[in-house]
């Protein structure tokens, strides 16, 4: 129970089904930081909101502090990727390592068999295998950030909201049940970010957030930037270039070069990529798709799925070729493969061409 409306409705449904339910809120904040309202799943206010809902439903509620585990399994990875000039997605790591990792282990230790969450996704079956699918409401779908769940984790997962037709319907259900979180605003920020991602990176990576040069595709120095971790491929702000350039077209970040702390920029068409290689792959069925497989590839949590062909896949690596050119492919982000609405798995983008 994150303290939001989605997990509140899930708790209500579980309780209404007559199942033995226990509400758990994860506390993953740093004890010395200032806490403000509506910061998401890591604030004291979120715990209070979740506890009020649990009391209303008549179920026990506990707050488990996983600050140390979250730091080691999610934040450290987030910072390491930024040091390497990559753009990671912390939620992709948090779900298998924390929510369906540490939390599931502890839940099982107190006798729980399943973990019901407010994620918008669906679970299916193919023979003895469990399958993961997009939610009915495409605008809310979160299958992308769940693609690393193992068969064991999927077997313990329950996603009641995967079949919800809209967020509005979920809020209406919460209101009808008298849940105090029915009108609570959504948190859009990363749960461990106090103000902005840029300020968080400056605080945590002062040695990496240092000024450097901006170069064009010919290698000429044309400006400056304030720190590689503050930028990502496809960005067109956050750096400055000298006035009076012969070519006045807008410039976009093409590459973050950690070796010399430089940012390469170029026109929009220079962003186009046709091939990507991904590593650290995880496959829902336990094996990669065969070479030649045609499927959809999503590059961001709520991005469009692009048509690709699997050029090569073996174990934890995959090489993909897009049917057409694709822009803003950022190393460090996850590429997730789909067959229609079914998630095949995915990995971390390492190289593009």
Q: Is residue 215 part of a domain?
A: yes
Q: State the pTM of this model.
A: 0.93
User: Cα-Cα-Cα-Cα dihedral of 105, 110, 111, 115, to 10°?
Assistant: -50
Q: Would you say residue 43 has pLDDT above 90?
A: no
Pair (265, 276) in one structural domain: no
**Within 13 Å, how many C-alpha atoms sit on residue 140's CB side?**
21
Q: Would you say residue 103 has pLDDT above 50?
A: yes
Q: Which residues contact 294 (CB under 8 A, 6 or more apart)?
A: 307, 308, 309, 310
Q: Is residue 131 part of a domain?
A: yes
The 10s digit of each residue's pLDDT in 258-281 is: 999 999 999 999 999 999 999 999
CA 91 to chain centre: 3
The 10s digit of each residue's pLDDT in 69-96 is: 999 999 999 999 999 999 999 999 999 9
The number of beta carbons lying within 10 Å of the beta carbon of residue 3 is: 26
Active site residue 281: no
- Which residue in 41, 42, 91, 191 is the catalytic one? 191
305: domain range?
A: 272-352
The 10s digit of each residue's pLDDT in 7-25 is: 999 999 999 999 999 999 9
In the listed set 141, 176, 197, which residue is the last one of a domain according to the structure?
Answer: 197
Mean of all residue pLDDT scores within the chain: 93
Rounded to whole angstroms, how far apart are CA atoms 1 and 8? 6
SS (HEC) of 195-228 = CCHHHHHHHHCCCCCCCEEEECCCCCEEEEECCH
Pair (140, 260) in one structural domain: no
Pair (172, 230) in one structural domain: no
The count of domains in the chain is: 3
Q: Is residue 204 part of a domain?
A: no
Active site residue 42: no
Measured CA distances, 314 to 149, 347, 351 (Å) = 19, 12, 16
- Which residue in 91, 94, 281, 295 is the catalytic one? 94
The 10s digit of each residue's pLDDT in 306-333 is: 999 999 999 899 999 999 899 989 999 9
């Amino acid at each position: 129970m994150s303290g939001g409306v989605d997990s509140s409705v899930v708790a209500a449904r579980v309780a209404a089904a007559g199942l033995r339910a226990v509400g758990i809120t994860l506390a993953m904040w740093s004890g010395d930081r200032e806490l403000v309202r509506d910061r998401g799943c890591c604030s004291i206010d979120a715990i209070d909101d979740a506890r009020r809902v649990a009391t209303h439903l008549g179920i026990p509620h506990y707050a488990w502090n996983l600050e140390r585990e979250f730091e080691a399994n999610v934040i450290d990875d987030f910072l390491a990727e930024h040091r390497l000039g990559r753009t990671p997605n912390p939620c992709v790591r948090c779900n298998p390592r924390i929510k369906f990792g540490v939390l599931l282990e502890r839940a099982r230790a107190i006798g729980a068999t399943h973990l019901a969450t407010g994620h918008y996704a669906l679970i299916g079956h193919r023979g003895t295998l469990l399958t993961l699918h997009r939610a009915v409401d495409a605008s809310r779908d979160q299958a992308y950030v769940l693609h690393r769940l193992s068969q064991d984790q999927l077997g313990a997962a329950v996603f009641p909201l995967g079949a919800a037709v809209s967020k509005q319907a979920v809020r209406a259900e919460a209101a009808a049940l008298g849940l105090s979180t029915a009108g609570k605003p959504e948190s859009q920020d990363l749960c461990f970010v106090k103000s902005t991602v840029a300020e968080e990176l400056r605080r945590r990576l002062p040695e990496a957030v240092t000024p450097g040069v901006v170069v064009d595709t010919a290698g000429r120095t044309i400006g400056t930037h304030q720190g590689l971790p503050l930028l990502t491929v496809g960005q067109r702000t956050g750096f400055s270039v000298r006035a009076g350039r012969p070519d006045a077209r807008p410039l976009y970040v093409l590459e973050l070069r950690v070796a010399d702390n430089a940012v390469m920029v170029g026109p929009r068409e220079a962003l186009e990529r046709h091939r990507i290689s991904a590593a650290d792959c995880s496959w829902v069925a336990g094996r990669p798709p065969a070479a030649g497989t045609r499927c959809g590839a999503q590059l961001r949590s709520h991005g469009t799925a692009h048509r690709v062909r699997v050029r090569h896949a073996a174990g934890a690596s995959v090489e993909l070729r897009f049917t057409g050119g694709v822009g803003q492919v950022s190393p460090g982000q996850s590429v997730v493969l789909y067959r229609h609405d079914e998630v095949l798995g995915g990995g971390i983008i390492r190289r593009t061409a």
